[in-house]
Amino acid sequence: MLQIYCPHCQELRSEEEFSCGGEAHIARPLAPETLTDEEWGDYLFFRKNPRGIHHEMWYHVTGCRRYFNATRNTVTYEILETYKVGTQPSIVGEGV
DSSP characters for 1-70?
--EEEETTTTEEEEGGGEEEEEES--PPPS-GGGS-HHHHHHHHH-----SSEEEEEEEETTTT--EEEE
Determine, yes or no, domain membership for 95: no
- Give, as one character, the DSSP assignment of residue 87: S
Work out the angle at residue 62's Cα, subtended by the Cα atoms of residues 58 and 66, and round it to the nearest 5 degrees: 45
Tens of pLDDT, residues 15-48 = 999 999 999 999 999 999 999 999 999 999 999 8
The range of the structural domain enclosing residue 36 comes to: 3-84
Determine, yes or no, domain membership for 27: yes
Count of domains for the chain: 1
The pTM score is: 0.85
Average pLDDT, the chain: 93
CATH number for the domain that contains residue 45:
3.30.2270.10
* Predicted confidence (pLDDT) at residue 6 exceeds the cutoff of 90: yes
